[in-house]
């Protein structure tokens, strides 16, 4: 019996020593210590051993088992350690590799132009206000002196949610909302996205941006309007820029004017950029119509004011000499990075 156990022990230890994988160790464990393993079959043969011998044989079996188990565990730990070291060696980080480059975005020309315009007006004491892009027909048209059926609606055809709700065609509704609050005097600019049912081409888009301004106080005259816009043009396009006011018609202002600035490329000489005229049209403006004041609950006998509106894209296109508005909406980083 003793020799038999010794043989099993020798064979098991040899196999363990020769194994180089955790799976092999498992197979050895099953083969020797498992339910049908060799050591277990020795225990089953105990019934043939004489009663006085049994304790000694039992002890020998247990010792053999312990030796094999210890060796198995020791080898398992060694193999696991080896595997971990191997893994670490393979996954080593090469700190000399060049880093992944992050693509940094770029400010949109519209945004640069908007920040510039805001800076100029905030510097003159204006507040920046915003309003909803989906607007009541009342705020977009009626409160601005454009009742249903008024021909001016044709020039500003927009997208209708229903009879009473539209996508705003101008940021002027924000002016009405500001006046309705009843806090006077008012000195605000309202930048934002507006909508028109226009086809896309080099100068049109169904969605673009406006910046409108509104001033209401006692004793505001056309001279204040001219002075303000002349200062704005000088700040935006250069110290020697001159402005020209041409009579025009808007339903919500009276009198109304369109404003040209001297071409900042040829300084008024006439060039290809200004089509030879020396002037470039930039915005519309006028004195707020008494009807508009009245509808917003302001007494036109006591208060007066002016309003103006400028296309943000128009400023960006002029300032950066971009000749196609569509470039502003494509968001091609190669284009945007030029500004």
Cα separation, 313 vs 319, in Å, equals 10
Residue 126, SS3 per DSSP: coil
The smaller minimum CB distance to Zn ion, of residues 16 and 259, is found at: 259
C-alpha to C-alpha distance for 192 and 105, rounded to whole angstroms: 22
| 250/264 with CB nearer Zn ion | 264
Q: Minimum CB separation from Zn ion for residue 279, in Å?
A: 8
Q: How far is CA 282 from CA 5, 238, 317, in A?
A: 105, 14, 11
Phi-psi category of residue 216: left, alpha or beta, with phi > 0 → left and psi -120 to 50 → alpha: beta
Residue 314 tokens read as: 């128009």
The least CB distance from residue 264 to Zn ion, in Å, is 8
Cα gap 152→208, rounded to integer Å: 19
Q: Given the complex with Zn ion, which of 143 and 274 has the nearer CB atom?
A: 274
Angstrom distances, CA of residue 209 to CA of 43, 328, 338: 92, 11, 21
Please state the closest distance from residue 243 (CB atom) to Zn ion, in A. 15
Beta carbon of residue 249, minimum distance to Zn ion (angstroms, whole number): 27
Annotated binding-site residue numbers: 254
148-168 per-residue burial string, b: 16 or more CB within 10 A, e: under 16: eeeeebeebebeeeeeeebbb
Q: Tell me the residue number closest to Zn ion, measured at CB.
A: 263
Nearer to Zn ion, 111 or 271 (CB): 271
Residue ranges at the known binding site for Mg(2+):
254
Cβ pair 294, 180 in contact under 8 A: no
Closest CB to Zn ion among 226 and 267?
267
- List residues binding Zn ion (CB under 5 A): 263, 265-266, 271, 273-274
Residue 266 CB, nearest approach to Zn ion (Å)? 3
Residues contacting residue 198 through CB under 8 Å, at least 6 positions apart:
204, 205, 206
Query: Phi/psi of residue 71, each to 5°?
Result: -65, -40
Nearer to Zn ion, 18 or 238 (CB): 238
Nearest distance from residue 105's CB to Zn ion, in Å?
A: 33
């Amino acid at each position: 019996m003793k020799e038999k156990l010794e043989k099993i022990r020798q064979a098991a230890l040899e196999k363990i020593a020769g194994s180089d994988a955790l799976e092999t160790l498992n197979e050895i464990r099953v083969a020797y210590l498992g339910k049908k393993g060799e050591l277990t079959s020795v225990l089953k043969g105990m019934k043939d051993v004489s009663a006085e011998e049994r304790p000694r044989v039992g002890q020998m079996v247990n010792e053999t088992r312990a030796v094999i188990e210890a060796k198995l565990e020791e080898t398992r730990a060694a193999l696991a350690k080896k595997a971990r070291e191997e893994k670490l060696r393979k996954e080593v980080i090469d700190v000399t590799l060049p880093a992944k480059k992050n693509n940094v975005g770029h400010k949109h020309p519209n945004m640069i132009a908007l920040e510039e315009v805001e800076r100029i007006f905030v510097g003159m004491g204006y507040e920046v206000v915003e309003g909803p892009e989906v607007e009541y027909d009342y705020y977009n048209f009626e409160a601005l002196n454009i009742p249903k059926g008024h021909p001016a609606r044709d020039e500003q055809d927009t997208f209708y949610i229903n009879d009473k709700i539209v996508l705003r065609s101008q940021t002027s509704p924000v002016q009405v909302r500001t006046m309705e609050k009843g806090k006077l005097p008012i000195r605000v600019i309202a930048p934002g996205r507006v909508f028109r049912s226009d086809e896309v081409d080099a100068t049109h888009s169904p969605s673009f941006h406006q910046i409108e301004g509104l001033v209401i106080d006692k004793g505001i005259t056309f001279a204040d309007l001219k002075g303000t816009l002349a200062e704005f043009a000088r700040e935006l396009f250069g110290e020697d820029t001159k402005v020209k006011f041409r009579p025009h018609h808007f339903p919500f202002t009276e009198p109304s004017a369109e404003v040209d600035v001297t071409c900042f490329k040829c300084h008024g000489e006439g060039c290809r950029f200004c089509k030879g005229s020396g002037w470039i049209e930039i915005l519309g403006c006028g004195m707020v119509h008494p009807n508009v004041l009245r509808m917003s609950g302001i007494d036109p006998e006591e208060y007066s004011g002016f309003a103006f509106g400028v296309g943000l894209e128009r400023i960006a296109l002029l300032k950066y000499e971009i000749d196609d508005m569509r470039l502003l909406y494509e968001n091609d980083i190669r284009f945007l990075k030029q500004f």
